[in-house]
Amino acid sequence: MATPKSRPRDGYPGRALALILVVTVGLVALMFGTGNTKPRLGIDLAGGTSITLTAKSDDPKAINKSNMNIAVGIIQKRVNGMGVSEAEVQTEGDKNIVVNIPKGGDRQSAADQVGTTAKLFFRPVLAYAPSGVKATAPTASPSATTSGSPAAAPTPSPTATAGSTAAAASPSASKAGRAVGEALLADPTASASAPAASPSASAAAASPSAAATAPTEAEMTAALTQGTVPAELQAQFAAMDCSDPAQRKDYQSTDITKTTVACSSDPEQGYYDKFALGPVQVNGSDVSKAQAVIDTQNAAGWQVQLQFNDKGSKAFATTTGALSTQASPANQFAIVLDGGVVSHPQVNETISGGSAVISGSFTQSDAQQLANVLSFGALPLSFAQSDVVTVSPQLGGDQLKAGLIAGLIGMVLVIIYSLIYYRGLGLVSIGGLLVSAALTYSIMSLLGAGIGFALNLPAVCGAIVAIGITADSFIVYFERIRDEVREGAPLRPAVQRAWPRARRTILVSDFVSFLCAAVLYLVSVGKVQGFAFTLGLTTALDVVVIFLFTKPLITLLARKKFFSDGHPWSGLDPKRLGARPPIRGTRRRTSAPSATKEA
Amino acid sequence: MSRFSNLGHRLYQGEVSFDFVGRRKLWYSISGVIVLVAAIGLAMGLHLGIEFKGGSVYTVQKPGLSVAQVQTAANDVTHGSSALVQSTDKGKIRVQISSEETQSPDSIRNGLSKALDIPVQEIDSQVIGPSWGHQISQKALLGLVIFMVLVTIYLAIAFEWRMAAAALVALIHDLLITIGVYALVGFEVTPGTVIGFLTILGYSLYDTVVVFDTVKENTKGLTKQSKLTYSEAANAGLNQTLVRSINTTVVALLPVAALLFIGGGLLGAGTLNDISLALFIGLAAGAYSSICVATPLLAQLKEEQPEMKALAKRVAQRRASEAKAKAEAEANGEAVPEGEEFADEDLPAGMVGQRAQGAGRSRNKGRPSTKR
C-alpha cells in the first residue's frame, strides 16, 4: 500500500492514476459484463420476509458450526422445496439462522415451514380421520378443491382398499405429497429377513381420490374415524378442524407422556388428516441417522432408512413389538414433528437392532424430505423465531429511495462545502468521492452475486456515513498542504512534504475505523453486521483512493500553473493562506529557503 | 469564508490561539456536569424499543385511515387495549403489540387486515422474540469491549499509553453523553441506535487520533528546549488542527444530517432515523471531546512525568529570568522589540491574541525541538 521510498521526488503520479483508473473501469466493466449492475437488496429494501431463527439447546456444545450448517441445509431444502425460489438461508453469528424470502414468495407457508423445526416424536396412532377438505388456498367454490372430483358424494368411501394400510382416503399416485400408506419395517440391509410385503404401494395407487365437502366437521369425523378415540380426547378430536390453520398447532408441547391430538402436517389431496395419538414412545433425538435410499432388492422404490441410538433402539423394539400385534390403524406409528404428523407408517413386526425402514409409495423427494425431517429431529437443536420482518415492496422501495436521496444530498452538501472552502482542491475531493462511489457500488454489486452480500438499510447508512470518512482524509491532506504553503513553501515541494505526515495521520485513523468495523463484523449479528461490513469496505477503499487517486492527482495538479501559482480559485492562494503576511515579511523571507531544504 | 481561512492561518501561526489545555478545569467541569446529567438520565432508564422487549409491530397504510380507527381495530383483534398505535409519516400507522399478547402474530395480522380492509400482503410486520434485542446489544457490548481493548493496545503502541488512556476516557465520555441524551429525551433505543452508538466509537477515536498525531509531532524532543511546556505545545498542536477538526466534523455531520432530516423526514421513525440520530449526537460530542477532554487530559497526564515537570520548571525559570532582564532593560529605557513574547500567562485564558514569536522561529512552529 505504501508508496515505494525509492521513487523520485514527485513519484510517478501518472502510473498510480492509470492503475486506479484501470481498476475502477475494470470493476465497472466486470459489473456490467456479468450483468450484476445492481447491488443485491436486503429484505428491508426490496420487500419480502426475513426470519431470524436462534438456536436453543440445553447443551451449549450442541450449538456448533456443523450442527448449524446441517440445519441451514435442511431449512434451505425445505423452504425451496415449498416452491419459494431464491429464498436464502444462512447462518449469522454463531447461533442464528436467517431465512430471507424475497417478495412474491409464499410468506405464510415458508414461515410455517421454517417454524417446523426439530421437535420430533414417535407416537402410536390411536385413531384418525380426514379433516377439512380445503387446501391452504381458499377457493371461490367450496367444491372446487384440488381433488378434481366435483361430484363428490357426501360420504366418500375412503376405506375402499380396506385390508391394506387403511389409508383414510388413499392418495392417488399423483405427485401430490407423501403417501400416507407407509410401512415401518426392519431394515432389510441389517437383517436378511423382512419380506417387505409392501402392501401400501399398490393400495396407495389404486384408489381414486375422494375428497368432499363435509357438512360439518363433527359429522365427517364421526363417519370417517378409523380406530378408537380415547374418551378424554373425544370432544377435542371431534371439534378439531385441521383446515383451519389456527388449529394446526402443536398440542403436545406440555406433556409428552399423555395422549394428544394432531393434524397431518401437509394436506393430502387437498385435506388434512387429524389424529388421536398415544404418549411419546421414542424421542426424535434418539434417531442417530436417517437417509433416503432406493430399494433395488425388493423393487419397493424409495424408502427411508432409520438408525436409532441405544436408548432409541430399546424403546423402538418394545413399542414396535406392542404395535405389531394391534389391528389397523392402531398398528401405526406416527412421526410427529412439532405437533404435525409427518408420516404414519404401520408396523408389521417387532423391530429390534436399532435399524428400520419406512417404505411406501415415496417419490425421491418425498423420501428425502422425510429423511431430512428425521435427521433434523435428531439434531439436539431447536430454534426460536427471534425476528420475523415482513416488508412490502412499497415500504422497502420507500426506504431505499429515502436512503439514496439522503446519500445524494449528503454528498452534494459535502461537495459544496469542499468547493467553497477548498475551491480548486475541492474538485479533487469531488473526483475522489466519485471514484470511491464507483468502487463501492461496483464492489457491492459484485459481492452480491459473489458471496451473497445483501445491501440492507444499515449498510446504506454505513455507506452514507463513509462519505464523511472519505472526505475527512482529503481534508487532512489538504490542510497539511496548506500548512506547508503557509510556511512559505512553493506548492510542489509543499505537496510532497505534506504527504508523509498526512499519510501517517490518515493510516492511523483509518486503521482505527477499520478495526472498529472488523471487530463489529466479527462479533455482531444482524443489522449491525451489514453496517460494519460497509464501513470496513469503505474505509479500506478510502486508503486506496487517497493513495492511488488523491495524492497522485494533486501531484499532477501541482505542476499546473493554475495551482502552483496559487490562483485565487485554486484553494492554495498563499496570500489567502497568509503565507506572505504584510507585516512580518522579513521573517517569511528567512524561512522560505529552509523550507525547500527539508523533507 | 476568507475570514475563516484567515483564521486558519492565524491559528496555525499561533497568532490566534484558544487556550484549550489551560482551561482544562472549565472543560472538565462542563463535561462533568454533562456526564452527571447523562448518568441521572441513565438511572431513570432508557426507553427501549420493542426489539428489546419482544412483541410485534405492524404498519398499515390506507388513505383516510385514522389512528383512532386503527386503535379500535387493534383492540378488537387483541381483545384488549395494550396495543400501541402511532401515526408515522406519509399516512402510515404503526401498531405495536407487546409479547404478552397470546395471539399469534399471523392471526393479528389477518385480523387487522379484515378489520381495516387492507390486503394482508400490504401490512408490514415484524415479530421479535424478546431475546433478540438483548442478543444484539449483548453482542454489540462484546464488540465494544473487544474494540476498546484492541484500540487501547494499538494506541499505546502507536503513540503511548497516556494517549491511549486519554483517548479511551474521551470515548467513554462521548458514549455516556450520547446514551444520556437518549435517556433524558426519551428517544427509543433500537438496534439501529446501537449501531449508531458503535459508529461513534470509530469516529470519536478518528478525531482524537488526528489531534494526537499532531500533538505527538509537536512534542517530539520537547525536553531539549525550555521555551514551551508540554501543555503549551499540546495546545499549539490542538490549535493547528482546529480548522481541520472543524472541517472534518462539519463534513462528517453533513451526510448524517441529510440522513437524519431528509431520510428520516421522508419516512418518519425508522432505522435511518435511529442510526443517524445517535450518530449526530455522538459526532458532535466526539469533536468536542477530542479537543476539550482528550488533549487536556493527555497534557495533565504528561505533566505528571518527571521530565515534563523538570521542563515546566526550566520554562518557568527561563521566563522569570527573561522577565527580569526585560524589566531591567525597561528600567534602562531601552525599547523591547519582542515585548509580547512571554505574554501568554498574562492574557485572559480564552483567546490569546498576538502571541508574537521570535524572528526565524516560524519554520519550526510545532517542531520546537531540534534547532533549539
Q: Model confidence over B14-25: pLDDT tens digits?
A: 666 777 777 888
Does residue A589 register a pLDDT over 50?
no
Cα A89 from Cα A114, distance rounded (Å): 10
B37-59 residue pLDDT tens: 888 888 887 777 777 777 788 88
Chain A residue with CA closest to B119: the answer is A392
Predicted pLDDT at A428: 87
Does residue A258 register a pLDDT over 60?
yes
Measure in Å the smallest separation between the Cα of A67 and chain B Cα atoms.
20
| Contact (CB<8Å) B255/A52 | no
Predicted pLDDT at A517: 86
Cα A261 from Cα A274, distance rounded (Å): 7
| Contact (CB<8Å) A468/B251 | yes
Lowest mean pLDDT among A100-104, A147-151, A408-412: A147-151
Measure in Å the smallest separation between the Cα of B99 and chain A Cα atoms.
12
pTM of the model: 0.64
B192-245 residue pLDDT tens: 777 777 777 777 787 888 888 888 888 887 777 777 888 888 888 888 778 878
What mean pLDDT is predicted for residues A563-568?
72
Assign residue A83 a region (left: φ > 0; alpha: ψ between -120 and 50; beta: otherwise).
Answer: left
How far does CA A164 lie from the centroid of its chain?
A: 43
- Is residue B243 within 8 angstroms of chain A, CB to CB? yes
Query: Which pLDDT band holds residue A543 (cuts at 50, 70, 90)?
Result: very high
More confident residue, A360 or A539: A539
Measure in Å the smallest separation between the Cα of B213 and chain A Cα atoms.
6
A206-257 residue pLDDT tens: 344 444 444 566 666 666 777 777 777 777 777 777 777 667 666 665 566 7
Lowest mean pLDDT among A178-187, A561-570, B341-350: B341-350
Q: CA torsion, points A70, A71, A77, A81, in degrees to nearest 10?
A: 160
How far does CA A129 lie from the centroid of its chain?
A: 37
Q: Point out the residue among B210, B258, B361 whose CB comes nearest to the CB of A413.
A: B258
What mean pLDDT is predicted for residues A496-511?
87
Cα A229 from Cα A239, distance rounded (Å): 13
- Is residue B163 within 8 angstroms of chain A, CB to CB? no
First to last CA, chain B: 36
Chain B residue with CA closest to A510: the answer is B206
Chain B residue with CA closest to A417: the answer is B251
Cα B253 from Cα A96, distance rounded (Å): 34
Q: Point out the residue among B131, B139, B247 whose CB comes nearest to the CB of A475.
A: B247
Q: Point out the residue among A398, A472, A525 whose CB comes nearest to the CB of B251.
A: A472
A381: Cβ contacts below 8 Å, ≥ 6 apart:
A55, A56, A57, A62, A63, A67, A68, A71, A117, A118
Q: Quick count: other Cβ atoms within 10 Å of Cβ A197?
A: 14
Does residue A594 register a pLDDT over 50?
no
Handedness of CA B41, B44, B47, B48 (dihedral sign): positive
ipTM tops the 0.85 cut: no
